[in-house]
Amino acid sequence: MRVGVIAEGFADVNVIKAILRKIAGVDGSEVRLLRPQEQMDETDLNELNFSNWQLVFNSCQDEDKLSAFFEEIEGDAILIVHVDTAERGMIGYDISEPQRTGATDFAVYSEQVRVQVIQKLRMLLPTKYHQFVAYAIAVEETDAWLIPLFETGVKDSASHVKAKETLSKLVGRDKKRQKDYTDTSKKSLNYRGLGKLLAKNLSVCRARNKSLDLFCLEIEHKMLRK
pLDDT value at position 49? 60
Separation CA 138–CA 136 (nearest Å): 6
pTM comes to 0.92
Cβ atoms of 81 and 60 closer than 8 Å: yes
191: nearest Cα among 16, 37, 40: 16
Neighbours of 106 (CB within 10 A): 23
Separation CA 132–CA 77 (nearest Å): 7
Quote the number of domains for the chain: 1
Residue 218 structural domain: 2-224
Q: Give the pLDDT of the chain (226 residues) as one tens digit per residue.
A: 789 999 999 999 999 999 999 999 999 888 999 999 765 444 444 555 668 999 999 999 999 999 999 887 666 889 999 999 999 999 999 999 999 988 899 999 999 999 999 999 999 999 999 999 999 999 999 999 999 999 988 899 999 999 999 999 999 999 999 999 998 777 799 999 999 999 999 999 999 999 999 999 999 999 987 5
pLDDT value at position 75? 65
pLDDT value at position 139? 97
β-partners of residue 51 are: none
